[in-house]
A and B are shown apart, each in its own frame.
Chain A
């Protein structure tokens, strides 16, 4: 196996470059071109007018978490602790209890995610054997005035809908 080597030409050693002046003026021409173009027509700025214009979120994008449900509305999570064990920042805490709806043996009675701890790595989603936790809500901005409201409980995680259709989510190519 040969390694491809690209030799870059060294800049800045010729006499005219050491005088600086010509290079300074060339640099200033470049910046002035940008300045003048934007001054004449500021619709050419490379900016998104956030928050009025929101960015487009793709299905691959990892947003805030949610817990998914079966079609009859029961929680998919079986409290296997896979996500909690996998979480590198220890932001998930689950308390398991006996399941009463007959889907399996266990279900969470408490499922909390501390969003201040979370690093949005998506390992919980990958670890889940039941497809019970997803990060497809498209929520990227969580704002609050108190810390306690950033710890999301099971009710809120279940109530948040996904932002994409099932086909789009499946096609996200992970």
Chain B
């Protein structure tokens, strides 16, 4: 292995390990501020470091410090302390590794050698994801059982029953999807979606499989234990469900695991149905061929985006009551300066790309960076959908959940398989 090989392995493992963890902070922040705005209140916006609140992101640090410094308590009645401690680790770990098979950019070709932009270069992609998320529920069941608490047991039980009823529609929705794509390799699935349908519609999963999208997204919500399917937790019915006996960072692991699972599942939804890292109408080869025009368009767009974004900051980052020498205006000035500097830096990089005709490798790296940004943007948007749904829909009743799973989603996904297979056979 050359040094470049090692560097790229390190880079992609770092991406797979740290991006989901970074998204915990973004997910929690989005959840709290999003919930605030949806309910016409402001959410956490006071926490600051030297007056810098970063739109409420600093609150995450305060929450983290609080969770870490709480007493790590294991109740005396718990007999299997090992399993009790193992459960949150399982939940967090399986959520983290389930992201590993997802491609975040197209294959990078450097000096005639191609590097797959996946944390683990797996051919079985989607099966890895199914295996890992399916395993996450063991953590929840284990937590419920080892808590030795009736609410905990009920939470674990509900989670088990729910996963059994929703893994099946999820798997069947995937079957029809795999019939369309003809592969289980996530990189190839993402590449497939770079094509155009009838020459002008991006061939995304959402267009080829409209029914499959609905079934898969509903099942994915159930899989990640998010509202409206958060039965394992169900605070209004069974207090806190599976994590009732957990405190301190052991609870924190469940909490973080939920957000990592949310991100991983957003990433898989994006990869399967919303084109993965593909920018619509711009397949990898097109982008490589037209790198300079794309860079020029970006250079033209960036000042406008920064201008309007800064205007938005100026408007919203101010105290809404009389305050002499408003410190929030000063804070906004700093943010605006930072964003202009960042924009200028990106402009300079783009300018070098336009002025100095770069080598093929440089263009490839530029394309991969663009695709990574697109992928993260899409995943963030999907995370927002998770938050949005959580603060819109109330929890289902338990029998409604089972009825929806077995009587509606299961037959629908079977019908979907038949229709898809018929169409695929007729076309080929």
Contacts and interface: CB of A to CB of B under 8 A. Distances in A.
A41 B316 contact: yes
Contact of A35 (B34, B315, B404): B34
B335 interface: no
Interface stretch (B39-47, B166-174, B236-244): B39-47
B319 interface: yes
Interface centre among B36, B39, B320 (most CB of A within 10 A): B320
Interface stretch (A23-31, A123-131, A166-174): A23-31
A53 B393 contact: no
A34 B319 contact: no
Contacts of B393: 24, 27
Contacts of B42: 42, 45, 47
Contact of A34 (B37, B312, B389): B37
A35 B214 CA distance: 23
B391 A31 contact: yes
A14 to B, nearest CB: 16
Contacts of A46: 40-41
A144 interface: no
A35 to B, nearest CB: 5
Nearest to A32: B388
Given A31-B391, A41-B315, A41-B316, A52 B323 contact: yes
Interface in A135-168: none
Given A28-B392, A42-B316, A34 B38 contact: yes
Interface string B378-390: 0000000000110
Looking at chain B, what size class is its interface with the partner chain?
20 to 34
Interface residues of A, number: 22
A24 B404 CA distance: 14
Nearest to B214: A21
Interface of A: 20-21, 24, 27-28, 30-32, 34-35, 38-43, 45-47, 49, 52-53
B321 interface: yes
21 contacts: A27-B392, A28-B389, A31-B392, A32-B388, A34-B40, A35-B34, A35-B37, A38-B36, A40-B312, A43-B316, A43-B320, A45-B36, A45-B37, A45-B40, A45-B42, A46-B40, A47-B42, A49-B319, A52-B319, A52-B321, A52-B323
B99 to A, nearest CB: 26
Minimum-distance CB pairs A-B, first 9: A38-B37, A31-B392, A46-B40, A35-B37, A31-B38, A27-B392, A42-B316, A35-B38, A53-B321
Contacts, number: 55
A46 B34 CA distance: 15
A47 B39 contact: no
Interface in B352-400: 388-389, 391-393
B316 A45 contact: no
A43 B34 CA distance: 16
Contacts of A31: 38, 388, 391-392
Given A21-B214, A53-B321, A47 B41 contact: yes
Nearest to B39: A34
Interface in B27-60: 34, 36-42
A128 to B, nearest CB: 38
